[in-house]
Structure 1
Amino acid sequence: MFSAKWLLLGVPVAGAVGLGVGVDQWLSAAGEAKQDLKPSTVLPITRVILFNSGVGYFSRSGEVEGDARVDLTFPESDVNDLLKSMVLEDFGNGRVSAVSYDSREPIARTLSSFAINLNGNPTFAGIIAQLRGERIEVAISATAANQPGKLTGTIVGIEKQKIPAGTQITDAEVLNMWCAEGMRAVKMSDIQSLRFSNPLIESEFRRALEVLALSHDSQKKAVQLHFAGEGKRKVQVGYVIDAPIWKTSYRLLLKDQEKPYLQGWAMVENPTDEDWSTVKMALVSGRPISFKMDLYNPLYINRPTVEPELFASLRPVTYRGNFKSSADGIAFDRPLGEAREAKPDAKPGAKGGFGRGGAAPAGASPALGYADDNMDALKKATVANNPEARYGKDTAAELARRMSTGSVGNAATAGALGDFFQYTIDHPVTLVRQKSALLPIVGKDIEGTRVSIYNAGVQAKHPLLGLRLKNTSGAHLNQGPITVFEGSTYAGDTRVLDVQPNEERLLSYAIDLGTEVDPKAGAGKQKITSIKAVKGIVTTTTKVTEETTYKAVNRSQTDRTLLIEHPNRTSQQFKLVDTDKPAEDTPEVLRFQIALKAGDTKSFTVKEERDDVSTIALTNGAEDQIRYFVSLNEISAGLKNKLNEALKLKGAWDNTARELNHVNGDLQRFTVDQDRIRKNLRETPKESEVYATYLKKLSDQEKEIDALTAKQKGLTADEFNARKKYEDFLANISD
């Protein structure tokens, strides 16, 4: 255990200032600590508030007398949370003088600060090489050739030399020393021991080794709280640190002709190394935002190195005095560090906290000796849901009664805290370190109706036995498992998510083998309801109808209330038609309720409709779609006439295109035949009769080709105009 003096003087000033201690108070507290040799005061844990978000608020309180010191230890992993959330209060005529804690420099940075740097596990030669110029005393092994038993001298350096070893040459490290008789070289392997003649170097070496040893035991860190004052008085410290989330489990007892009975238990763990003895405990259900921040490790940033600028020396400069003094209306800035004038309502020496002298920072709690302006902000942020610490002991009980929505059994009192819900355990809790416990939080009759719940995706044939539960316990039910009993018989298990007071929720715990459901999907129908055309784009609306029939049989000896869960397809634009309104509507399913007497059979049909809309652009290749639209009875007469006119235009275009294709075919045939005739002419003698026949035929074909070419030109223009007329007509059809 470090002394109080060391802790106070060794703690980073930033850590103390962050807790509200001024520099002058810090130095004063350090001076007082030199004289403080009193034993540590024990502050036991008196209140624990656990959240289901992974943190817990712990409050320690007790009496101190005069100047007192409280020693606490925490796992290193909790120190950051401690520095972020700790609040100290002195309820008497005293003040919190300082909070000190084991500082932790990065081990590499600490080791590099010593004269001998032990970072990186240096070798024997590496350590000696750091101390060039230091005097040492070396003991040499007896087997070393031509070496005395001891050498005293100054380290010159370490070098590697080639040294024969039998038939081979090896590298060896050699220590070069300056001795009385001159320079000596000693192989490192021949050195048995080495001592530093400079006691400062030996001290630095020991301290570096101590730092290494202390770094191995980094699991616990010491924190000391220093209170200054007179007489006996109550003090308190509260903080938020990591804690296991508290969990809940329930037992649900079902009886005929009676309301269901719900019993709830909270499972809490004490993972600390300290027993909890008769502590006041509260369990908060909510999701407060909580995070970790590294406040414990010293943080360093790289700063740029700026070279100084050199200027030629200047002659001294003199200045004339001001024409007016400050008394004539010229105000001078307040010197840096001058205290501002205290507010009239700031009372030095106010009750509690740091109240002796000086104005306190804005926004601090009066329990810390600060102004009242922003008391609630700091209190709410740091003391969380501790009514006594937040509002004062005198009004805590009244506040609990005001927030409570009802008594939950005889074990806990439940109350709403804004968006949180709190169970206050009515009796003090004792829990040994590293132990867990079940604490009763709910024990009440609640409202519930037996149902059978059918969902084809859960069980294709049978529904599940369940309960439509209404939370009339007056308490928020935290999520957890529920074990269901029918009388004294185990009936099954289920699980419930968070349930608010007076909220209804379905539970299922077993398969209902006495009831069977057979779902049948209908064939479905599709009917076109409208056809619209705008600028050549035809929009068709088709009504799609789907039916599902659920046939339910109750083969049991008791009546059943059957809930059928049908997929909710409103996101797919389906809507119910000719179907009873569902008893419940959730984003996933629609629940329809059916009463089934013993031995009864019923069918229930769910009918849904939606409109499917499709569009098609009329182009010069859409004649099949046009004929399809013309054949529909749902099309309007005007649109049908326009589409028939389009088909006529398409027919005229097709006729022109066919005639053009015929002419192109004739031209192609003439071209092929002329090629044949020209080849024959090259092989036939000019004097022969056949040669003259070929020439006459070739001449006749040229005349026909000229006529066909002229006709082709006209038909090409006609085909282009017919196609354009058809396409323009299609693009402007609207009805």
Structure 2
Amino acid sequence: MASKKWLLVAPVAGALGLGAGVGADKFLSAAGDAKQDLKPATTLPLTRVVLFNSGVGYFSRSGEVEGEARVDLTFPESDVNDLLKSMVLEDFGRGRISAVSYDSREPIARTLGSFAINLNNNPTFAGIIGQLRGERIEVAVSAAAVNQPGKLTGTIVGVEKQKVPAGTQTLDADVLNMWCAEGMRAIRMTDIQSLRFSNPVIESEFRRALEVLALSHDSQKKAVQLHFAGEGKRKVQVGYVIDAPIWKTSYRLLMNEKEKPYLQGWAMVENPTDEDWTGVKMALVSGRPISFKMDLYNPLYVERPTVEPELFASLRPVTYQGNFNGRGERGTGDNQQVFNFSTGLFGNQAAPRLPVPALGPLPLAFDAPMPPAGGKLGGLAGGVPTDGVPAFEKMKLAGVNDPAGEALRRKHAAGTAAELAQRLGAGSVGNAATAGALGDFFQYTIDHPVTLPRQKSALLPIVGKDIEGTRVSIYNAGVQAKHPLLGLRLKNTSGAHLNQGPITVFEGSTYAGDTRVLDVQPNEERLLSYAIDLGTEVDPKAGAGKQKITSIKAVKGIVTTTTKVTEETTYKAINRSQADRALLIEHPNRTSQQFKLVDTDKPTEDTPEVFRFALGLKAGETKSFTVKEERDDVSTIALTNGAEDQIRYFVSLSEASPALKQRLAEALTIKGGWDATARELAQVTADLQRFTIDQDRIRKNLRETPKESEVYATYLKKLSDQEKEIDALTAKQKGLVGDEFQARKKYEHFLANIND
């Protein structure tokens, strides 16, 4: 096999220094050979397109060249960064890739700033003149200017603003100061009709700056030249990844009472380029490779610090970092997945042309608008041919050898595909794609060359298969409170990965509704719903619910109560239609809320959101189905010195153990002793307060009563007696305070150590 030499664009461009100012029409190769640009350019037609549903596409061009050859390509400026990041060139014969050149550019602001006259930021007339102080100019002055000759020659001194009269007011005006033969002159800028630079270098710089501005307006297309050096005729190829619209899918599902559901899938591809796709090989990949953009096209400059020389500095010690992994070799494995730029497919690194078993694609969000179909259903839009191949003829999985199954499919397709075409009002459409697994991706390879004019879209048939499916009615109170939805339990027996997309459902030849499906792997089951089942009605009723305490435990004064909460929901369903119904009831899955099913049939399906229960309904039949759920609610209460009512409540519960009841009763007894001491203390305190008030009254009376009177002596005796009683009560109060403290402490300690 001829040797193959390939080259990445970005390293070549960097190594050869293809910087600003190197145009595609003036490129010199690394060997300095300028003659090759004189040869006519060779055309490399587009031969392969691989579209991803992640917003990028791989485009491959290939053809024959002879000897020294040049290939000219043009790209929108928005694609140049992706081109420099991903372009790969290959030479399959006795040749080599000489170099690649492209229209580079400086940032426009930097380029304009490099001229003697800086036109950045749209400078004014006065701003331009102000940049040229000291330059000689020729000025033609308006005839209406006062005290000014028609023409002046001199040197620019500067531009200033002066107050000039304007009727009854004064305004600021720009004035040009010139040094002329007769001396200084001041000329209003509004009086200048024309101005010419005497220095031809300045005039040339001004023209070049204006040309740069003009060229910056026409920067939509950029030229890229590929230079191949070698001998004789040989095949060359270039591949690159650039922005591309995601490809989308839509399906048609035909259902008939006596046959399996028939699924027809279409891929929608778009050609947004300015080039016709003529007879290209196309593949559609379902996957989300990581892709990003990087600015490689604009010259980037890094600010460097200014370092002064160290005349007397000592040499600093140098440190070196050791090798991290010894040899520094890149490991390879048998299952390493790489993108083969020769075939435009993913493959094994050791054997790039062999597919690798699939692990499954990453599901995508569904929000892309669908373009209008380019032709009638059954025909192929965008010039893609159809040859009436039966539905199962072209749909073969890579690597599958099933002669018996193939014969059965051919026989079955002869009737089914023709019947479908007749019902849908179009010609027979078979698979025009071969589906296959590519590691974590899934690919549809279009079996026929695709022709798609520029700025056009096309529908390409990728699936045409009978699949397994069971009719069901799906009820979810959160979706439709009264009626279930007509649906289908679909099993993907097409052998292909079904990319997400909308599905239009037909009942026989009648439109039945629309639905949507996410990515479905081969042999995976998925529910679809497409219409409201008006013939079936479901009435959900929630029960009253029950709560029952099941256990009471106490640990160090903390009582834990477990209460079993039971909830019931009864679904009453009636089938008023003339056909039997297989009803699927979706009940909320509240496992995260600690609910579990009890005394209920096991659900047919268990998803994170719902339980699905199957219920068969014959025509005219009414049935009820009850879902019972239980949950244990646990509550804790800390027994404190104010929890007598809670203690009495726990003692009254039959669920409390005798030992716990006994301990709680002892706690109430201790609390009773504490309460008695507290009451006695309160009584003594009240007596003391009463004596204090009475003594205040006696002292007031003594101040108003004559000392010689008999009453005065009585008051004195009573006051003396009360003092003795107060002393006794104060001593008793002191003792009761200590007793009350000990009783409270005993009670709290007892509560804190109750265990059962």
TM (norm. structure 2) is 0.83
Other structure's SS at 2:599 match: coil
Kindly report which structure 2 residues correspond to 1:256-275, keeping only aligned pairs within 5 A, or say none.
256-275=257-276
Give the distance between the partners of 1:385 and 1:693, measured in 2 at CA.
129
Q: 1:685 aligns with which of 693, 706, 723?
A: 706
Partner of 1:332: none
Question: How far does residue 223 in structure 1 lie from its aligned partner after superposition?
Answer: 1.7
- Partner deviation per Cα, 1:672-705 (whole Å, 9 max, x = no partner): 1111221222222222222222211111111111
- Tell me the equivalent position of 1:252: 253
Aligned to 1:716: 737
Matched, 1:672 2:669: no
Structure-1 residue corresponding to 2:222: 221
Q: How many Å apart are 1:30 and its aligned residue?
A: 6.7
| Letter of the structure 2 residue corresponding to residue 732 of structure 1 | N
Return the match for 1:545 from 562, 566, 572. Answer: 566
Matches within 5 A, 1:148-227: 148-164=149-165, 168-227=169-228
Instruction: Report the residue type matching 1:60 in the other structure.
Output: R
- CA contact under 8 A between 1:405 and 1:474: conserved in structure 2? no
Asked if the contact 1:383/1:390 (under 8 Å) is kept, the reply is no
Counterpart for residue 380 of structure 1: 338
- Counterpart CA distance in 2 for 1:195 and 1:374 is 69
Q: State which drifts further: 614-623 or 229-238.
A: 229-238
Taking the aligned partners of 1:398 and 1:569, their CA distance within structure 2 comes to 40
CA distance in 2, matches of 1:35, 1:241: 29
CA deviation vs aligned residue, 1:609-649 (integer Å, no higher than 9, x gap): 12111111111111111111111111111111111100100
Letter in 2 for 1:123: T
Cα distance between partner residues in 2 of 1:93 and 1:23: 26
Aligned match of 1:302: 303
Partner residue of 1:583? Answer: 604
Matches within 5 A, 1:428-439: 428-439=449-460
The reply to whether residue 510 of structure 1 matches residue 531 of structure 2 is: yes
Tell me which amino acid in the other structure corresponds to 1:306.
Answer: V
- Check conservation: 1:239, 1:382, Cα contact below 8 A: no
> Residue in 2 aligned with 1:466?
487
Residue 167 to residue 726, structure 1, CA distance change in 2 (3 Å) = closer
Within 5 Å, give how 1:82-101 maps onto structure 2.
Answer: 82-101=83-102
Q: What's the C-alpha RMSD, in Å, of the aligned pairs?
A: 3.0
For residue 427 of structure 2, what is the aligned residue in structure 1?
none
Tell me, in whole angstroms, the C-alpha distance in 2 between the residues paired with 1:714 and 1:631.
36
Look up the equivalent residue of 2:69 and give its one-letter code: A
Q: Is the 8 Å Cα contact of residues 16 and 98 (structure 1) preserved in structure 2?
A: no
Q: 1:377 to 1:629 in 2, by over 3 A?
A: closer
Answering whether residue 518 of structure 2 is matched by residue 497 of structure 1, we say: yes
**Contact residue 413 and residue 423 of structure 1 kept, 8 A:** yes
Q: How does 1:86-165 map to 2 (within 5 A)?
A: 86-164=87-165
Q: After superposition, what is the alpha-carbon deviation per residue over 1:526-548, rounded to whole angstroms, capped at 9, x for unaligned?
A: 11111111111111111111111
Partner residue in 2 for 1:339: none
1:414 equivalenced with 2:408 (yes/no): no
Residue of structure 1 aligned with 2:718, choices 661, 681, 697:
697
Q: Tell me the residue number matched to 1:555.
A: 576
Instruction: Note if 1:623 corresponds to 2:581.
Output: no
One-letter amino acid of the counterpart of residue 476, structure 2: N
Shift of the alpha carbon at 1:379?
A: 8.9
d(CA) in 2 for partners of 1:583, 1:247: 33
For 1:634 and 1:385, the matched residues in 2 are separated by 76
CA contact (8 A) 1:48 1:56 kept: yes
- Residue 11 of structure 2 corresponds to 17
User: After superposition, what is the alpha-carbon deviation per residue over 1:333-369, rounded to whole angstroms, capped at 9, x for unaligned?
Assistant: xxxxxxxxxxxxxxxxxxxxxxxxxxxx998xxxxxx
**Residue type of the partner of 2:272?**
P
Give deviations 1:53-96, integer Å, cap 9, x for gaps: 11111111122222222222222221111111111111121122
Q: What is the distance in 2 between the residues matched to 1:679 and 1:221?
A: 115
Give distance in 2, aligned partners of 1:557 and 1:165.
Answer: 96
Q: String of CA shifts for 1:390-432, please: whole Å, max 9, x gaps.
A: 9899957999998556999431100000110000010011111
Q: Which amino acid aligns with 1:558?
A: A
How many residues matched?
666
- What is the CA–CA distance in structure 2 between the aligned matches of 1:544 and 1:241, rounded to whole Å? 60
Matches of 2:442 and 2:598 in 1, distance apart?
A: 43
Q: Measured at CA, do residues 73 and 35 of structure 1 come closer, stay the same or move farther in structure 2, by a change above 3 Å?
A: closer
Aligned-partner Cα distance in 2 for 1:71–1:656: 109
Structure 2 gaps of 5+ residues are: 1-7, 19-26, 315-327, 358-394, 410-429
Q: Provide the rounded CA distance (Å) in 2 between the counterparts of 1:21 and 1:223.
A: 17
Deviations 1:498-532 (A, max 9, x none): 10000000111111122222222122221111111
Residues 395-410 of structure 1: matches in 2 within 5 Å?
403=398, 409-410=430-431
- In 2, Cα distance between the equivalents of 1:469 and 1:238? 40
**What does 1:331-370 align with in structure 2 at a 5 Å threshold?**
none
Structure 1 residue 144 displacement after superposition: 2.8
Shift of 1:128: 1.5
Q: Distance in 1 between matches of 2:676 and 2:336?
A: 91
Residue 33 of structure 2 aligns to a residue in which SS?
helix
The answer to whether structure 1 residue 608 and structure 2 residue 602 are counterparts is no
Q: Is the 8 A contact 1:87 1:382 kept in 2?
A: no
The match for 2:366 is: none
| Alpha carbons 1:405, 1:475 under 8 Å: kept | no
Contact 1:451 1:563 in 2 (8 A): yes
CA deviations on 1:445-499 (whole Å, 9 max, x unpaired) are 0000111111111111211111110000000101111111111111111111110
Cα distance between partner residues in 1 of 2:219 and 2:630? 69
Residue 199 of structure 2 aligns to which amino acid in structure 1? N
> Quick one: which amino acid aligns to residue 719 of structure 2?
L
Q: CA deviation at 1:293?
A: 1.6
**Residues 1:571 and 2:592 aligned together:** yes
How many angstroms apart in 2 are the aligned matches of 1:405 and 1:664?
A: 101
TM-score, normalising length: structure 1: 0.85
Distance 2:491 2:119 in 1: 68
Aligned to 2:678: 657
Segment drifting more, 138-147 vs 647-656: 138-147
* Aligned-partner Cα distance in 1 for 2:149–2:341: 73
Say if 2:355 and 2:439, in contact at 8 Å, map to a contact too. no
- 2: CA distance, partners of 1:165 / 1:482: 76
